[in-house]
């Protein structure tokens, strides 16, 4: 009972933090839209008009990603669908985790890559897919595989893919709007001296300058918030995986083993890296950027798992061995 209470508390905290972060991104979008509209037109109605346009843009992008985003990710990852005949053990483990999570059996895909990793995608549990690399199947035992797939099925059960999609679209809308406004301003758009003389006065000038500042900073801040949302959902999926498998050691061993693997997942990129079980872009790669990491550190994830079960955190030598590998 104590353990289930701990799980519930951990899940509640992560859900609350994620919702607050999404509200923050929506606030950035609204603030940027209003500042641009009011600063360029000198009218409150102009601010609301641009804000409404930004919301319409985000909605259109969301609809497109909602219905076609999962297939695009699977295609770009080179994933091929498998069944019980071609991958019996994998299908059995996925079925076990789907039953434990209380969700329909997802489609199962394999990516032909020796780097161990996995991801889940789809708009809801009824339209979900799980993709696993051949390296994951070769290098993990059954308990470790259960831990990883329990994590991915938790993403499906918790609607993390849809949640992350919403944040990604909002961040993308902010970036598009900011880029358009800065280009428009650079090429002589915005408020001219005649406009400033007609109305609005100093307030409009201040808001216009604020819009420029927001256009520069908002995409960066929104991206950092997006990464924070991603990390919160990873913590939640780890806790949920242990709840499903009742075996925290399998997940802990999988995390350590994957972190220590030096193989590079070539098919992963910055657009898809947040989907994976662990960050597929290793710190030693040229394309890595620790400031914009989509995942918590492996040491932090393992220590949180140990906290759930009342164990001591990793000792100093183990932490040093794992530090910097993910």
For the chain, the first-to-last Cα distance in angstroms comes to: 33
| pLDDT average, residue stretch 301-321 | 82
- What is the four-CA torsion angle of 76, 73, 25, 51, rounded to 10 degrees? 80
pLDDT confidence bin for 130, thresholds 50/70/90: very high
User: Is a pLDDT exceeding 50 seen at residue 227?
Assistant: yes
pLDDT digits (tens, 9 = 90+) for 182-209: 877 777 655 544 444 444 567 777 877 8
In which band, very low, low, confident or very high, does the pLDDT at 301 lie, cut at 50, 70 and 90? very high
Question: SS3 for 288?
Answer: coil
Tell me, yes or no, if 263 is annotated catalytic: no
The per-residue pLDDT for 82 is 96
Average pLDDT in the chain = 81
CA distance 174 to 24: 12
Output the pLDDT for position 275. 86
pLDDT band, residue 141 (cuts 50/70/90): very high
Domain that holds residue 11: 2-322
What pLDDT, on the 0 to 100 scale, is given for residue 214? 78
Please tell me the distance from the alpha carbon of residue 109 to that of residue 116, in angstroms, as a whole number. Answer: 14
301-323 mean pLDDT: 81
Percent of the chain with pLDDT over 90: 30
Count of domains observed in the chain: 1
Task: State the pTM of this model.
Answer: 0.76
**312 C-beta neighbours (distance < 10 Å), count:** 8
Q: Is the pLDDT of residue 299 over 80?
A: yes
- Give the pLDDT confidence score for residue 267 in this predicted structure: 85
Residue 69: is its pLDDT beyond 50? Answer: yes
Cα distance between residue 45 and residue 127, in whole Å = 41
pLDDT in tens, 168-182: 777 777 887 888 788
Q: How far apart are CA 259 and CA 253, in angstroms?
A: 10
Q: What is the pLDDT of residue 132?
A: 96
> Per-residue confidence at 38, pLDDT binned at 50, 70, 90?
confident
Closest CA to 97 of 164, 11, 157, 159: 157
Lowest mean pLDDT among 47-61, 100-114, 142-156: 47-61
CA-closest candidate to residue 118, choices 102, 139, 103, 99: 139
Catalytic residue among 152, 234, 243, 252: 152
């Amino acid at each position: 009972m104590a353990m289930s209470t701990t799980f519930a508390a951990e899940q509640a905290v992560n859900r609350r933090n994620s919702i607050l972060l999404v509200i923050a991104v929506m606030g950035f979008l609204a603030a940027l839209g209003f500042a641009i509209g009011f600063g360029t037109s000198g009218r409150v109605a102009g601010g609301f008009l641009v804000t409404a346009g930004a919301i319409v843009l985000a909605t259109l992008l969301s609809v497109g990603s909602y219905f076609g985003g999962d297939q695009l990710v699977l295609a770009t990852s080179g994933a091929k669908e498998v069944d019980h005949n071609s991958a019996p053990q994998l299908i059995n483990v996925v079925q076990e985790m789907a039953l434990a999570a209380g969700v329909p059996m997802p489609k199962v895909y394999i990516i032909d890559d020796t780097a161990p990793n996995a991801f889940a995608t789809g708009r809801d549990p009824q339209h979900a897919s799980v993709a696993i690399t051949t390296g994951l199947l070769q290098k993990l035992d059954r308990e470790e595989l259960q831990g990883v797939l329990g994590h991915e099925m938790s993403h499906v059960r918790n609607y993390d893919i849809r949640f992350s999609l919403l944040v990604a679209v909002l961040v993308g809308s902010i970036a598009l709007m900011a880029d358009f406004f800065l280009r428009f301003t650079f090429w002589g758009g915005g408020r001219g001296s005649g406009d400033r003389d007609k109305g609005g006065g100093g307030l409009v000038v201040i808001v216009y300058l604020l819009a420029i500042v927001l256009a520069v900073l908002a995409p960066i801040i929104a991206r950092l918030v997006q990464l924070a949302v991603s990390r919160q959902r990873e913590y939640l999926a780890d806790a949920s995986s242990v709840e499903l498998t009742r075996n925290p050691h399998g997940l802990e061993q999988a995390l350590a083993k994957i972190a220590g693997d030096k193989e590079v997942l070539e098919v992963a990129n910055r657009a898809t890296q947040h989907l994976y079980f662990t960050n597929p872009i290793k710190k030693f790669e040229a394309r890595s950027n620790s400031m914009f990491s989509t995942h918590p550190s492996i040491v932090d994830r393992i220590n949180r798992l140990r906290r759930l079960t009342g164990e001591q955190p990793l000792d100093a030598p183990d932490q040093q061995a794992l530090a910097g590998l993910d």
